[in-house]
Chain A
Amino acid sequence: MPDSVIQEKISKDYAYGFVTDIESIKAPKGLSKEVISFISKQKKEPAWMLEWRLKAFEKLKLMKEPDWQKPKYPKIDYQDIYYFSKPKNFKEEIKSLDDIDPEIRKTYDKLGIPLSEQKKLSGIAVDAVFDSVSIGTTFKKKLEDIGVIFCPISEAIQKHPELVKKYLGSVIPITDHYFATLNSAVFTDGSFVYIPENVRCPMELSTYFRINESKTGQFERTLIIADKGSYVSYLEGCTAPMRDENQLHAANVELIALDDAEIKYSTVQNWYPGDKEGKGGIYNFVTKRGLCKGKNSKISWTQVETGSAITWKYPSCILQGDNSRGEFYSVAITNNYQKADTGTKMIHLGKNTKSKIISKGISAGYADNTYRGLVSIGSKAENSKNFTQCDSLLVGNKCGAHTVPYIDVKNNTAVTEHEATTSKISEDQLFYCYQRGLDKELAVGLIVNGFCREVLQQLPMEFAVEAQKLVSISLEGSVG
């Protein structure tokens, strides 16, 4: 029963914890002007990009890591991290996806990520980022035909400098905060998406992030621009090998939606969470922000966070355009010694802007799960509305759940609503399930999936089933 015999730990190993044995080229360890120049050179960047990075680096020297978050962690030695690592056999310009190193291809096969353009996978285009480089992007040509640009950001910097210059750092300024600034200085790869006016992107675009090398940080940079009247649905996934060290993934993701455009951004985050004693695992310190720049634009974040030793992220929406809408749907599961401090910021600036926040936090084992969110309604945001619902589910009696909502309203025509609940899986619910023949794992998986249903429903069909399984697996062994 949940209260009495709770602390039997995860029985199944993390399925994605293997290491791909390949040689890699790395930048010298540590953070310096030289290393940043090395990264920029490796990526054959134009001079303006290096200047931009160095500007960020100068700012970084004056900044301090934030410390207001609930999860505390030992001091990170930034000089003990490799900021760049790429496979030795990495080819800059691959003619076809068949040119990808067979070892790396095998890795993605093992992860269940299709790096081919088979017919049955025709609904999803994939960009695969391995440590610091993108090793291949599928369906690029097909998307180009309708004007959609989907490529590694390194490539976009070379081929589409006007778009990158205009939008990079426009939503997350390089001085935003410590990790965003660090990312601006040393970012390596991520995806670039541009959807032209009035184009509805016909495929799901997805990026799959894999950390492979030890002692290496991953500094993802993703930029998505939806031009007027366009639509795109984008999904990212993440895994890493099991190691007893903590590795840093500090990403910056910027979304820009112009007039009448819509961006749907989904994350299934399954970084290595550390072992059952809390050793190792990824520090997932991520800045994600979307700007609803145009009128009637919409940005919707959906995240399923099951991995990482520490998750620290607040995918946010700046609702600048009149009638724009922001949504945040989140499931954050923490088990064993995992910690999550996650939520969103909805910044209402334009008139008639609407936002909706649905957060489901599940805590098991000794884990600690915090929802932290800000709803800010500016003085000019007439008739703006927010609805927030934060539900926490506790499994066992050694874990924690916290809700820290900030609401800041400067316009008296605005309406904000906040609902919050905290509950436990009851013995009665479990017994009812057992009586119908469900074993413990199945019962907990089903009840938790039910708890998260509203959020999981938001995921693209192709990923919803996988996410449901992941939710169940993440909690295996949490009920004794």
Chain B
Amino acid sequence: MLSIRNLTAKIGKKIILNDFNLEIRKGEVHALLGPNGSGKSTLSYVIAGKEGYEVNGEIIFKGKNILDLSADERAKLGVFLAFQYPIEIPGVLMNNFLRTSLNSVKKAKGEKEIDVVDFLKLSKDVSQKLGVKEEQLSRPLNVGFSGGEKKRSEVLQMALLRPEIAILDETDSGLDIDALKLVANGINTLRDKERSFLVITHYQRLLDYLKPDFVHVIINGTIVKTGCSTLAEEIDRLGYKNFSSV
């Protein structure tokens, strides 16, 4: 599904990702843990196609090196990034944004676009399942949203777009326990044989709900250890000091 090979990313002279390798197969959930500044967010940006990085290596998604594609082309192919800090877009109502987004992706896939009436039904339905208040859908996107509302909005967008690979960048940060459950639930509902997830997190708690297939530790832009969920528990207890020498 997603193979990242020998990936390096630089801003100016600063190397952020260094010979990064990761293989995610269909249906798998991978967790990525690492201290602040280890390159987690940069990895998510580079996969999603944000400009401003000097990138080398390969990111093969669905058999295609996507490094040459623009961000919107990658999104249309099925790459989704839940932002750590979702961006405010004043005056653009959430519902309008979601429909524009969904129809862009549908159009690229050669599917029929969804009309307003059907969309409103769909968005209402998905919101209810994810515990997003309906009134939030008629507010400008992320403007004045609380931290929890922003994160739930990201999960809602993921649920509507049904991407094949979803990267969640600290979507659990700053959430109370109920919101955390909703986010975990949102991911678990989407989980199937065709869909994969890369979950970036600092906390064991989300992983308790998700039960990832693999856990990786990233230090200084490269994966230093891969294991199963016990690795995350170990880090939760001991921190990253055992890895710092690498």
A residues with CB within 8 A of B: 1, 426-429, 431-440, 442-443, 446-447, 449-454
B140 engages A438 (CB within 8 Å):
no
Quick one: which of A433, A447, A449 has the most chain B CB within 10 A?
A433
CB pairs A–B below 8 angstroms (19 shown):
A426-B87, A427-B52, A431-B71, A432-B86, A434-B70, A435-B48, A435-B72, A435-B81, A435-B83, A436-B97, A436-B104, A436-B157, A437-B108, A438-B72, A440-B72, A446-B97, A450-B91, A451-B90, A452-B91
Quick one: which of A429, A431, A447, A452 has the most chain B CB within 10 A?
A431
Given contacts A1-B51, A437-B75, contact A442 B87 (CB under 8 A): no
B101 engages A436 (CB within 8 Å):
yes
Residue of B nearest to A1 (CB): B51
Shortest distance from the beta carbon of B94 to any chain A beta carbon, whole Å: 11
Shortest distance from the beta carbon of B137 to any chain A beta carbon, whole Å: 15
| Inter-chain contacts of A1 with B (CB < 8 A) | 51-52
Task: Give bound CA distance, A431 to B53, whole Å.
Answer: 13
A437 engages B105 (CB within 8 Å):
yes
| Inter-chain contacts of B71 with A (CB < 8 A) | 431, 434-435
B202 contacts chain A at the CB level, 8 A cutoff: no
B104 engages A439 (CB within 8 Å):
yes
B161 engages A436 (CB within 8 Å):
yes
B87 engages A429 (CB within 8 Å):
yes
Determine which of A426, A427, A449 lies in contact with B92 in the assembled complex, contact meaning CB atoms within 8 Å.
A449
A450 engages B50 (CB within 8 Å):
no
A432 engages B91 (CB within 8 Å):
no
B49 contacts chain A at the CB level, 8 A cutoff: yes
B30 contacts chain A at the CB level, 8 A cutoff: no
| Inter-chain contacts of A447 with B (CB < 8 A) | 89, 92
B residues with CB within 8 A of A: 48-52, 70-72, 75-76, 80-81, 83, 86-92, 96-97, 100-101, 104-105, 108, 140, 157, 161
| Inter-chain contacts of A454 with B (CB < 8 A) | 91
Determine which of A435, A449, A450, A451 lies in contact with B75 in the assembled complex, contact meaning CB atoms within 8 Å.
A435
Determine which of B48, B91, B105 lies in contact with A451 in the assembled complex, contact meaning CB atoms within 8 Å.
B91
Residue of B nearest to A434 (CB): B71
| Inter-chain contacts of B101 with A (CB < 8 A) | 436-438
Determine which of B49, B91, B108 lies in contact with A449 in the assembled complex, contact meaning CB atoms within 8 Å.
B91
B76 engages A437 (CB within 8 Å):
yes
Quick one: which of A1, A439, A442, A449 has the most chain B CB within 10 A?
A439
Task: Give bound CA distance, A438 to B86, whole Å.
Answer: 16
Shortest distance from the beta carbon of B138 to any chain A beta carbon, whole Å: 12
Determine which of A428, A438, A446 lies in contact with B87 in the assembled complex, contact meaning CB atoms within 8 Å.
A428
Residue of B nearest to A445 (CB): B100
Determine which of B52, B83, B96 lies in contact with A432 in the assembled complex, contact meaning CB atoms within 8 Å.
B83
Shortest distance from the beta carbon of B192 to any chain A beta carbon, whole Å: 21
Task: Give bound CA distance, A436 to B79, whole Å.
Answer: 9
Shortest distance from the beta carbon of A5 to any chain B beta carbon, whole Å: 10
| Inter-chain contacts of B157 with A (CB < 8 A) | 436
Residue of B nearest to A451 (CB): B91
Shortest distance from the beta carbon of A8 to any chain B beta carbon, whole Å: 14
Shortest distance from the beta carbon of A448 to any chain B beta carbon, whole Å: 9
Given contacts A432-B83, A434-B71, A437-B72, contact A450 B104 (CB under 8 A): no
Task: Give bound CA distance, A434 to B104, whole Å.
Answer: 10
A442 engages B92 (CB within 8 Å):
no
| Inter-chain contacts of B92 with A (CB < 8 A) | 446-447, 449-450, 453
B91 engages A434 (CB within 8 Å):
no
A434 engages B72 (CB within 8 Å):
yes
| Inter-chain contacts of A442 with B (CB < 8 A) | 100, 104
| Inter-chain contacts of A435 with B (CB < 8 A) | 48-49, 71-72, 75, 80-81, 83
Shortest distance from the beta carbon of A416 to any chain B beta carbon, whole Å: 25
Task: Give bound CA distance, A434 to B80, whole Å.
Answer: 11
Task: Give bound CA distance, A452 to B48, whole Å.
Answer: 29
| Inter-chain contacts of B87 with A (CB < 8 A) | 426, 428-429, 431-432
Quick one: which of A428, A442, A450 has the most chain B CB within 10 A?
A450
Residue of A nearest to B107 (CB): A437
A436 engages B89 (CB within 8 Å):
no
Task: Give bound CA distance, A437 to B87, whole Å.
Answer: 15
| Inter-chain contacts of B80 with A (CB < 8 A) | 435
| Inter-chain contacts of B90 with A (CB < 8 A) | 450-451
| Inter-chain contacts of A439 with B (CB < 8 A) | 72, 104
Shortest distance from the beta carbon of B204 to any chain A beta carbon, whole Å: 28
Task: Give bound CA distance, A450 to B95, whole Å.
Answer: 13
Quick one: which of A434, A440, A446, A453 has the most chain B CB within 10 A?
A434
Known: A431-B87, A437-B75. 17 other contacts (CB 8 A): A429-B88, A432-B87, A433-B72, A434-B71, A435-B71, A436-B101, A436-B104, A436-B105, A437-B105, A439-B72, A442-B104, A446-B96, A446-B100, A447-B92, A450-B91, A450-B92, A452-B91
| Inter-chain contacts of B140 with A (CB < 8 A) | 450
Shortest distance from the beta carbon of B163 to any chain A beta carbon, whole Å: 10
Task: Give bound CA distance, A10 to B97, whole Å.
Answer: 24
| Inter-chain contacts of A453 with B (CB < 8 A) | 91-92
| Inter-chain contacts of B161 with A (CB < 8 A) | 436-437
Residue of B nearest to A426 (CB): B87
Task: Give bound CA distance, A435 to B76, whole Å.
Answer: 9
| Inter-chain contacts of A438 with B (CB < 8 A) | 72, 100-101, 104
| Inter-chain contacts of B88 with A (CB < 8 A) | 429
Shortest distance from the beta carbon of B101 to any chain A beta carbon, whole Å: 4
Shortest distance from the beta carbon of B133 to any chain A beta carbon, whole Å: 21
Given contacts A446-B97, A446-B100, contact A434 B89 (CB under 8 A): no
Pick the 7 closest A-B CB pairs, nearest first: A450-B91, A450-B92, A434-B71, A453-B91, A436-B101, A437-B104, A432-B87
A436 engages B91 (CB within 8 Å):
no
| Inter-chain contacts of B86 with A (CB < 8 A) | 432
| Inter-chain contacts of B75 with A (CB < 8 A) | 434-437
Residue of B nearest to A453 (CB): B91
| Inter-chain contacts of A431 with B (CB < 8 A) | 48, 50-51, 71, 87
